[in-house]
């Protein structure tokens, strides 16, 4: 009996070590410890063993059973490990590059626009939008630009033929011509015509000038304008906004200054200069960055706001110019070529 058990264990040891799969394992397990298994058969012979030998035999069988159980568990663990190895495949080389696409990129103009909008949203400006095809009224008349102003000339502004019709660009007077807006100030007018004050909006968008394209001019470019209308808005408030914008954008040590200027739709009007450290390719102390002013009462009267009650300010700037300053880009045309080597630099 003892020998039989030893032989059985030895056989089990060699057979179990060859097992490759769980199916084989289950079959082998049945062969040894199943109802018809070899060990089970031996255990059944216990009845025939003389009573005085039973404890010794019982101990032997239990020992063998325990060892067989260990063998089985070991075999099962080996199979499990082999399965995992097969599932994993060979080890990776962590230094190989990913074959997947590189990440997408936001256009630098979008990045600058969104950064400005984030800064302005923090102080309560909501982002407004309006059509790029505009009317003479919204783009010029409502902004106090006289009919003979050079900016309105066909030399400087793109017009559409008299018969052109745009379904979703509303006209103020039937006779006026459609044009491509020359500034985003038209959005101010549309916003004011839509609802009562107070208003605090920022309107970024594409604008058009009839200009030759070169390193600093482009047939279309982007602007961003702020409009704030409320009671008792002052020049000091306007300056505070500009200081806040550029300190947010370029750091606390950034300074702005106002120079008197002229725009038809603001009074007083200013040009805004900026002085900041760490701007690439800038070798002047002050750089012109935009225009601003207090909304002219004529503009309020035109949109039906009582200019005795309401006051406000407006600020506008070119986004390409800002992006060029921030990133040190020296040619506006790069923004419109979409060379991936350019776009990826701002990821």
The footprint of other proteins on residues 311-340 (CB under 8 A) is 311, 335-340
User: Distance between CA atoms of 54 and 188, rounded to whole angstroms?
Assistant: 104
Residue 199 is a binding residue for other proteins (CB under 8 A): yes
Q: Which distant-in-sequence residues (6+ apart) come within 8 Å of 244 by Cβ?
A: 119, 123
Least Cα distance to 345 among 337, 158, 220, 80 occurs for 337
User: Distance between CA atoms of 93 and 325, rounded to whole angstroms?
Assistant: 43
Whose Cβ is closer to other proteins: residue 52's or residue 148's?
148
- For residue 115, whether the previous peptide bond is cis, meaning omega lies within 30 degrees of 0, is no
Which is it for strands 178-180 and 133-135: parallel, antiparallel or unpaired?
A: antiparallel
User: Distance between CA atoms of 159 and 134, rounded to whole angstroms?
Assistant: 9
Whose Cβ is closer to other proteins: residue 73's or residue 114's?
114
Name which position in 55, 102, 196, 328 contacts other proteins (CB under 8 A).
Answer: 102
Residue 159 is a binding residue for other proteins (CB under 8 A): yes
User: Distance between CA atoms of 247 and 228, rounded to whole angstroms?
Assistant: 19
Q: Which of residues 170-189 bind other proteins (CB under 8 A)?
A: 180
Name which position in 44, 165, 277, 284 contacts other proteins (CB under 8 A).
Answer: 165
Name which position in 27, 30, 126, 309 contacts other proteins (CB under 8 A).
Answer: 126
Backbone angles phi, psi at 264, to 5 degrees: -65, -25
Whose Cβ is closer to other proteins: residue 42's or residue 332's?
332
Tell me the per-residue interface mask from 250 to 289 with other proteins, x by CB under 8 A, - otherwise. -------xxxxxx----xxxxx------------------
Residue 169 is a binding residue for other proteins (CB under 8 A): yes
Which range of residues in 5-13, 18-26, 62-70, 194-202 is near other proteins by CB under 8 A?
194-202
């Amino acid at each position: 009996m003892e020998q039989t058990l030893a032989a059985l264990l030895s056989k089990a040891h060699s057979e179990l070590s060859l097992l490759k799969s769980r199916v084989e394992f289950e079959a082998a397990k049945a062969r040894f410890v199943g109802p018809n298994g070899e060990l089970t058969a031996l255990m059944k012979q216990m009845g025939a063993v003389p009573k005085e030998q039973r404890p010794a035999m019982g101990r032997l069988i239990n020992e063998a059973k325990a060892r067989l159980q260990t063998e089985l568990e070991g075999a099962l663990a080996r199979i499990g490990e082999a399965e995992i190895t097969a599932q994993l495949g060979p080890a990776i080389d962590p230094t190989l590059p990913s074959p997947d696409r590189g990440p997408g990129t936001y256009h630098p103009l979008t990045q600058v626009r969104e950064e400005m909008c984030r800064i302005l949203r923090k102080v309560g400006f909501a982002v407004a939008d309006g059509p790029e095809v505009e009317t003479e009224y919204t783009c010029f008349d409502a902004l106090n630009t006289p009919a003979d102003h050079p900016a309105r000339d066909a030399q400087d502004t793109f017009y559409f033929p008299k018969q052109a019709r745009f379904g979703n660009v509303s006209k103020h007077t039937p006779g006026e011509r459609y044009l491509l807006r020359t500034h985003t100030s038209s959005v101010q007018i549309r916003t004011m015509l839509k609802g009562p004050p107070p208003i605090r909006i920022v309107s970024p968008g594409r604008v058009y000038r009839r200009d030759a394209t070169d390193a600093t001019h482009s047939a279309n470019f982007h602007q961003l304008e702020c409009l704030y209308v409320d009671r008792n808005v002052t020049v000091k408030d306007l300056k505070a906004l500009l200081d806040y914008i550029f300190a947010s954008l370029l750091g606390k040590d950034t300074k702005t200054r106002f120079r008197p200027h002229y725009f038809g739709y603001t009074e007083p009007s200013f040009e805004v200069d900026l002085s900041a450290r760490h701007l690439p390719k800038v070798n002047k102390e002050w750089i012109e960055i935009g225009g601003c002013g207090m909304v002219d009462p004529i503009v309020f009267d035109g949109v039906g706001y009582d200019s005795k009650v309401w006051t406000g300010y407006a600020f506008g700037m070119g986004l390409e110019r800002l992006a060029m300053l921030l990133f040190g880009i020296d040619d506006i045309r790069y923004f419109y070529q979409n060379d991936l080597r350019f776009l990826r630099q701002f990821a």
